[in-house]
């Protein structure tokens, strides 16, 4: 995709971490992004398997807009990690909670200006917090392009690691969080 090659992520902003458990264990990554799309449209992108397959780092075996079991599989990796998990809260179009890969995720959508303020909380192993921030940064950019009718294609897994923008974001977030990248 020509648009994908032209894509350059913006600066490493909008993410912070809450350090829980000292230097070990899980930290809480908080990511805030203001999108120019209404909450209902963003909700669909967060829950519809066909849309998730265009931007998210995992595939879902069902629509995630309802509480209950769901299977999430990491995308674009040689051996997908399959997580049998559950959506624990689904309050359309405002709040979505589930676990993935050992971490809890909470998505909150709020009307903001002419769009949505999206807040993601992700409990993540502190050793991978800059990786996670860089990955979510790119995923949310890709989702924004998708919702704008200008899809650039999913950039996750090994594709993200080879993507120069991810490398820079990872380094910038590592410096911002004062961790090793």
Compute the average pLDDT of residues 134-157.
Answer: 94
Backbone angles phi, psi at 14, to 5 degrees: 90, 0
Domains of the chain as residue ranges with CATH: 14-176 (3.30.530.20)
- What is the C-alpha separation between 146 and 42, in angstroms, rounded? 10
Token pair, residue 25, equals 């264990």
- What is the C-alpha separation between 86 and 99, in angstroms, rounded? 7
Render pLDDT for 88-106 as a digit per residue (tens, 0 to 9): 999 999 999 999 988 999 9
Token pair, residue 55, equals 């931007």
For residues 133 and 169, is the Cβ–Cβ distance under 8 A? yes
- What CA dihedral angle connects 55, 156, 84 and 92, to 10 degrees? -20
Helix (H) or strand (E) holding 90: strand 82-91
| pLDDT at 157 exceeding the cut of 60 | yes
Render pLDDT for 57-79 as a digit per residue (tens, 0 to 9): 999 999 999 999 999 999 988 88
Instruction: Tell which residue, 134, 135, 156, 152, has the closest CA to residue 143.
Output: 152
Compute the average pLDDT of residues 142-149.
Answer: 96
Place of tokens 């120069």: 164
């Amino acid at each position: 995709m020509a648009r994908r090659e032209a894509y350059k992520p913006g600066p490493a902003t909008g993410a912070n971490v809450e350090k829980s458990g000292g230097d070990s264990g899980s930290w809480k990554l908080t990511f805030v992004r203001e999108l120019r799309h209404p909450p209902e449209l963003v909700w669909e992108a967060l829950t519809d398997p066909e849309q998730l397959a265009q931007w998210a780092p995992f595939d879902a075996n069902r629509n995630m807009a309802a509480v209950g079991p769901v299977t999430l599989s990491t995308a674009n990796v040689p051996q997908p990690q399959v997580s049998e998990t559950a959506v624990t809260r689904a309050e359309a179009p405002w709040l979505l909670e589930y676990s993935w890969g050992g971490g809890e995720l909470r998505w909150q959508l709020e009307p903001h200006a002419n769009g949505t303020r999206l807040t993601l909380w992700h409990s993540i192993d502190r050793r991978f917090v800059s990786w996670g921030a860089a990955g979510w940064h790119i995923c949310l950019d890709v989702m924004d392009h998708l919702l704008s009718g200008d899809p650039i294609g999913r950039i996750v897994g090994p594709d993200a690691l080879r993507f120069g923008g991810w490398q820079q974001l990872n380094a910038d977030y590592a410096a911002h969080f004062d961790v090793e990248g």
